Structure 1
Amino acid sequence: MEWREEGIVLGVRRQGETSVVAEVMTRSRGRHLGLVRGGRSRRLQPVLQPGNTVDATWRARLDEHLGFMTVEPVHLRAARLMESAVGLYGIQLLAAHLRLLPERDAHPRLFDTLALIVEHLDDPVAAGSLILRFEIALLEELGFGLDLETCAATGGRDDLVYVSPKSGRAVSRDAGEPWRDRLLPLPAFLKGDVSPASADVAEGFRMTGFFLARHVWEPRAIKEPDARVGTLGVIARSRASAEG
Structure 2
Amino acid sequence: MEWRDEGIVIGVKRHGEGAALLELMTREHGRHLGLVRGGRSARMQPVLQAGNSVAVAWRARLDEHLGSFQVEPTAQRAARLMGSPAALYGLGVLGALVRLLPERDPHPGLYEGLEVIVNALDDPALAGPLVVRFELAILQELGFGLDLAQCAATGVRDNLAYVSPKTGRAVSAEAGGPWRDKLLPLPAFLHEGQGRQLPGPDQLAAAFRLTGHFLNRHVYEPRGVPAPEVRAAFLAALLAAAQR
For the criterion TM > 0.5, the same-fold answer is yes
Q: Distance in 2 between matches of 1:8 and 1:176?
A: 42
Q: Structure 2 counterpart of 1:210, which letter?
A: H
* Residue 98 of structure 2 is aligned to residue 85 of structure 1: no
Q: Distance in 2 between matches of 1:152 and 1:140?
A: 18
Q: CA deviation at 1:36?
A: 0.4
Q: Structure 1 counterpart of 2:157, which letter?
A: R
Secondary structure class of the residue paired with 1:105: coil
CA deviation digits over 1:173-198, x for unaligned, max 9?
11001100000011101120333111
* Residue 207 of structure 2 is aligned to residue 227 of structure 1: no
What residue is the counterpart of 1:182 in the other structure?
Answer: 182
Secondary structure class of the residue paired with 2:33: strand
Contact residue 86 and residue 121 of structure 2 kept, 8 A = yes
Q: Distance in 1 between matches of 2:128 and 2:87?
A: 11
The count of corresponding residues between Structure 1 and Structure 2 is 241
* Residue 202 of structure 2 is aligned to residue 195 of structure 1: no
Equivalences for residues 147-186 of structure 1 within 5 A: 147-186=147-186
Could you list the runs of 5+ residues in structure 1 that have no partner in the other structure? none
Q: Structure 1 counterpart of 2:190, which letter?
A: L
* Residue 67 of structure 2 is aligned to residue 67 of structure 1: yes
Q: Structure 1 counterpart of 2:127, which letter?
A: A
Secondary structure class of the residue paired with 1:219: helix
Q: Distance in 2 between matches of 1:167 and 1:223?
A: 22
Q: Distance in 2 between matches of 1:225 and 1:13?
A: 19
Q: Structure 2 counterpart of 1:82, which letter?
A: M
Q: Structure 1 counterpart of 2:128, which letter?
A: G
Q: CA deviation at 1:240?
A: 2.8
Q: For structure 1, which segment, 188-197 or 11-20, has the greater mean C-alpha deviation from structure 2 after superposition?
A: 188-197
Secondary structure class of the residue paired with 1:151: coil
Equivalences for residues 12-161 of structure 1 within 5 A: 12-161=12-161
Could you list the runs of 5+ residues in structure 2 that have no partner in the other structure? none
TM-score (norm: length of structure 2): 0.97
Runs of 4+ in 1 over 3 A off after TM superposition: none
RMSD over equivalenced CA pairs, Å: 0.8
Q: Percent identity between the aligned chains?
A: 60
CA deviation digits over 1:165-216, x for unaligned, max 9?
0100000011001100000011101120333111111110000000001111
Q: CA deviation at 1:140?
A: 0.4
TM-score (norm: length of structure 1): 0.97
Contact residue 129 and residue 198 of structure 2 kept, 8 A = no
